[in-house]
Amino acid sequence: MGDQKREIKLHFPEALQGGVYSNRMLVTHTKEEFIVDFMMVAPSSGAVTARVIMSPGHVKRIIRALQEDVSKYESKFGEITEAEVPLEFRELNGLTTDLDRYT
């Protein structure tokens, strides 16, 4: 019974099929959930393009999946250079710690 694969039919709303672009991300959390705001920020303006709310356990699975895919990507295309923390986030409220939460 545990070895049987179930097929789940998912509806992918047309409005979401094009995806959204994000060049910034802000992560916050409570004990029960992580909230990830994806943003598109230009020099003079910006907007939140998506907000995803997840359980801590799901966040751990996402991190593992992303680590595996980054490893596969780098094996094929070479090492990815990590981008610096954007200046506007460094300047927010004089942030000097937790900078890796803002990307």
Write out pLDDT tens, residues 5-24: 889 999 999 999 999 999 88
Q: How far apart are the first and last CA of the chain?
A: 43
Single-letter code of the amino acid located at 100: D
* pTM beyond 0.85: no
| CA R_g for the chain | 17
Start-end of H helices in the chain? 56-77, 87-91
Pick from 61, 63, 38: which is nearest to 48 by CA?
38
pLDDT, residue 99, reads 43
Q: Are 46 and 68 spatial neighbours (Cβ–Cβ below 8 Å)?
A: no
Q: Of the given ranges (36-45, 71-80, 85-94), which has the lowest mean pLDDT?
A: 85-94
